[in-house]
Amino acid sequence: EPEVTQTPSHQVTQMGQEVILRCVPISNHLYFYWYRQILGQKVEFLVSFYNNEISEKSEIFDDQFSVERPDGSNFTLKIRSTKLEDSAMYFCASSERQLNTEAFFGQGTRLTVV
């Protein structure tokens, strides 16, 4: 069964460093998303991406965040200068279409900023 894969599963970084979280969405999917879950809190939407551009972003997704689809398979989330409060589980998801279809999620990357 096709699945969304994320690497790495756990990333530890020093405050102020740049991190890139990587995702390989399901191959025939067209819509891509990043969500995050701070420990003990809700899963929160960060950004959606379609046709090589951001289609929607939340207020969390400020200038320190960026997304890219550098080739036909990868979808990345970059955090330019990490802060302690960026520590969270980051989930990538993809869907075939926007409406009527469910999003499939990866297993997550746990980011720890120290």
Partner 1 sequence: AQSVAQPEDQVNVAEGNPLTVKCTYSVSGNPYLFWYVQYPNRGLQFLLKYITGDNLVKGSYGFEAEFNKSQTSFHLKKPSALVSDSALYFCAVRDILSGGYNKLIFGAGTRLAVHP
Element (H, E) at 65: strand 65-68
110: helix, strand or coil: strand
Are the beta carbons of 112 and 87 closer than 8 angstroms? yes
Reported as half-sphere exposure (CB side, CA atoms, 13 A), residue 98 has a value of 6
Q: How far is the CB of 11 from partner 1 (least distance, A)?
A: 15
Under the binding rule (CB under 8 A), the answer on residue 43 touching partner 1 is: yes
Are the beta carbons of 31 and 50 closer than 8 angstroms? yes
Under the binding rule (CB under 8 A), the answer on residue 39 touching partner 1 is: no
* Binding-site member from 14, 27, 28, 42 for partner 1 (CB under 8 A): 42
Under the binding rule (CB under 8 A), the answer on residue 77 touching partner 1 is: no
Region of 14-22, 31-39, 59-67, 74-82 interacting with partner 1 (CB under 8 A) = 31-39
Q: Contacts with partner 1: how many residues (CB under 8 A)?
A: 27
